[in-house]
Amino acid sequence: MKVNWQGVFPAMTTQFHSDQTLDLAGTNRHLEKLLQSGVHGIIMLGTVGENCSLEYLEKLEVLRAAVKQVAGRVPVLTGVTALTSRRLCSRSWPMSRASLPSRNHPRMSAASPI
């Protein structure tokens, strides 16, 4: 994928319910508003916020939902954090699979395996 690294790439916040469970519908609504405003890309799971506090499977769930919602309209980037280099490497590859370009679309596919 050739990405034009110009424009606005906001760091997206993950929404939560009052019981601290993921609010993916709320996250998608916020994501859609950003897309409709004309952003050029999205950054999910920033390294200062929820990327440090979410469980690994929650991170994958957020990223999969974002890639599906974006549906190839703009690039989706993600932060990856871990306490050890080994864990970081083992988690980076699956996270990257969420936004690999598909054969049919120059940007990404929600159907890409993770």
Structure tokens, 87: 């864990």
So what's the pLDDT on residue 104? 35
So what's the pLDDT on residue 97? 62
So what's the pLDDT on residue 84? 80
Residues of the chain with pLDDT under 70: 1-3, 47-49, 91-114
So what's the pLDDT on residue 56? 82
CA distance 48 to 28: 20
The domains of the chain are located at 24-97
Q: What's the pTM?
A: 0.74
So what's the pLDDT on residue 111? 42
Q: Which residue from 99, 94, 49 is spatially nearest to 71, judged by alpha carbons? A: 99
So what's the pLDDT on residue 1? 54
CA atoms within 13 Å, Cβ hemisphere of 75: 17
Q: Is 70 exposed, middle or buried (0-12, 13-18, 19+ CB in 10 A)?
A: buried
